[in-house]
């Protein structure tokens, strides 16, 4: 079990003692620090699940029933992935901020170190995400070429363009599938490092 998963087991066990009785009796759970840590962890866990879901969708054959362009579908998945990376980074920062707000953890050297690790680990991906949001659409030459071939094939009824599209699309899809999987592995390593370091800090401030 990874340190990220182990942290989740620990904080979920804490939350179950508070949240389950509250839901059962239809009352609001107390706003304890432990519940805030659980909610922060849940946000991070949700982002991780969405990144895995996007990777699976980008890897699968496009269902004909969707009636959308192959290149647009792939581009949408990749854009969604980068956006979720940004959300994940913000969620981890919020978690670190929550811990640092506790009096005994203010300006803690471990939290400062983890902020640096988080910034370094996500910098290139976040920069790419920022470019496609603020300057232009996400741009990858191969995906742009696929979009052009698809448009020519559909509007111009060009058979050669259609053949090239069928030939090139699987290779481009495979390339991005492998890239997203590598990013997922890097994210898992980052989370393992963060939650290994944060576990003793959180246990020190969350009371049973």
pLDDT of the residue at 194: 95
Q: How many domains does the chain have?
A: 1
We report the CATH number of the domain holding residue 115 as: 1.20.120
Query: What CA dihedral angle connects 35, 33, 187 and 116, to 10 degrees?
Result: 170
Give the pLDDT score at 3: 94
Query: What tens-digit pLDDT sequence spans the chain (208 residues)?
Result: 899 999 999 999 888 887 776 666 776 667 788 889 999 999 999 999 999 999 998 888 877 776 778 888 888 898 899 889 989 999 999 999 999 999 888 888 999 999 999 988 887 666 555 454 444 456 678 888 888 888 888 887 788 888 888 888 899 999 999 989 989 999 999 999 999 999 999 999 887 5
Record the tokens describing residue 13, joined without a space. 């066990």
- pLDDT value of residue 133: 45
Read off the pTM: 0.85
Q: Which residue from 199, 204, 207, 197 is spatially nearest to 6, judged by alpha carbons? A: 199
Length of the chain: 208
pLDDT at 125: 67
| Neighbouring C-beta atoms of residue 206, cutoff 10 Å | 19
- Token pair 């003692």: residue: 17
* Domain enclosing residue 73, as ranges: 3-205
């Amino acid at each position: 079990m990874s340190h990220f998963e182990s942290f989740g087991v620990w904080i979920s066990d804490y939350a179950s003692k508070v949240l389950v009785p509250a839901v059962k009796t239809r009352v609001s759970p107390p706003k304890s620090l432990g519940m805030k840590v659980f909610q922060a962890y849940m946000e991070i866990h949700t982002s991780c699940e969405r990144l895995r879901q996007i990777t699976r969708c980008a890897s699968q054959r496009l269902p004909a029933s969707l009636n959308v362009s192959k290149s647009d579908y792939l581009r949408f998945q990749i854009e969604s992935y980068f956006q979720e990376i940004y959300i994940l980074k913000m969620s981890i920062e919020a978690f670190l901020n929550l811990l640092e707000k506790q009096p005994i953890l203010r300006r803690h050297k471990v939290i400062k170190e983890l902020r640096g690790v988080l910034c370094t680990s996500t910098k290139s991906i976040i920069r790419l995400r920022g470019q496609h949001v603020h300057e232009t659409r996400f741009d990858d030459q191969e995906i742009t070429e696929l979009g052009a071939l698809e448009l020519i094939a559909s509007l111009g009824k060009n058979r050669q363009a259609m053949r090239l599209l069928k030939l090139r699309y699987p290779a481009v899809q495979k390339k991005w599938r492998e890239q997203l999987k590598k990013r997922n592995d890097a994210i898992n390593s980052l989370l393992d490092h963060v939650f290994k370091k944060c576990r003793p800090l959180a246990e020190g401030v969350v009371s049973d």
